[in-house]
Amino acid sequence: MEVLKTKAALKAYLKPLKAAGKKIALVPTMGALHNGHISLIKLAQENADVIICSIFVNPTQFTDPKDLEKYPRPIEHDLAMLDEAGCNAVFMPNVEEMYPAGGDENWHIDLGNAEFLLEGAFRKGHYQGVTQIVKKLFDAVEPDVAMFGQKDYQQVLMIKNMLEHFKLPINIITCPIIREDDGLAMSSRNIHLSETDRKNALVLSKSLQFVVDNFNSFPLSELEQQAKSFYDGIEGVELDYFTIANGDTLQAAASKTEHKLVALVAAKVGATRLIDNMIIK
């Protein structure tokens, strides 16, 4: 597996592959890899000839400096996992390589109203930072396909809006959420959970599953209220939002008959903020 640290090295690696007509997939990550990430690599292998995984903890998408500072960076472990999975190359630039102008770079694009809902409301400017770095990664790799996890449901919508904005010819593939055996969605931040947090964190997947399992049994507002009541009285768990939303606009669902519905949640479990979602239909 090639380890590439600069855009120039990446271009040189890709040039003969592209000339030979190979289909290139990009799997963008922030590292601290787990089996959720590996599932993206595996799906990429089914959809392309050459798999590039990027590892870059992008400062512009963090709104909480402490979250950025403590983001896990186990690079040797990550490289071993990618090598084992058969990834062809890892692009792991430093901050200067991706942001040569330092903090002076301007980036603002219209991502539509959904930018400001849910994660966008709790992490102001987050999706400007995400789309800024993903555009830079797309420019550096010029992939045919790019893989993203459904775990970051809103992120996928924002990236599709960014593609539309720049009219980029990249096929976005959304990969299902990989969970631990007990239902917890895999996430790099799970490493920060204490033993008690880890048990409490199950409330996210349980409350979502309740909505999926009982969708036909209650009116929308009662479903949501009952799901929220799962969080009552759990010490150390603070619910940011739980919503049943339109799967395209992320506006709170007005009716059960809407074409696409998704339940989304974010909660602080101890000092760690987690997100999860389940598609209802």
Ligand X SMILES: CC(C)(CO)[C@@H](O)C(=O)[O-]
Contacts of ligand ATP in 29-58 (CB under 6 A): 29-30, 36-37, 39-40
Residues marked active site are found at 37
Smallest distance, Å, CB 159 to ligand ATP?
A: 9
Among ligand ATP, ligand BAL, ligand X, none, what does residue 37 contact (CB within 5–8 Å per kind)? Answer: ligand ATP
Give the sign of the dihedral formed by CA 25, CA 31, CA 34, CA 36.
negative
Which positions from 123 through 152 interact with ligand ATP, judged by CB under 6 A? Answer: 148-149, 151-152
Distance of CA 165 to the CA centre of its chain: 20
Is 174 a residue that touches ligand X (CB under 6 A)? no
Secondary structure in 3-state letters for 213-226: HCCCCCCHHHHHHH
User: Which phi and psi angles does 129 have, rounded to 5°?
Assistant: -65, -40
Ligand-binding site membership of 187 (annotated): yes
Question: How far is 248 from 100, CA to CA, in rounded Å?
Answer: 35
Segment interacting with ligand X (CB under 6 A) among 26-34, 110-118, 208-216, 273-281: 26-34
> Residue 113: CB partners within 8 Å, gap ≥ 6?
249
- Of the pair 152, 224, the CB lying nearest ligand X is at 152
What is the spatial distance between Cα 15 and Cα 56, in angstroms, rounded to a whole number?
22
35 labeled binding residue: yes
Instruction: Give the residue from 126, 114, 152, 7 showing the smallest Cα distance to 59.
Output: 126
Contact call for residue 154 and ligand X (CB under 6 A): no
Q: Name the residue with the smallest CB distance to ligand BAL.
A: 152
Residues that bind ligand ATP (CB under 6 A): 29-30, 36-37, 39-40, 148-149, 151-152, 175, 177-178, 185-189
Residues that bind ligand BAL (CB under 6 A): 61, 152
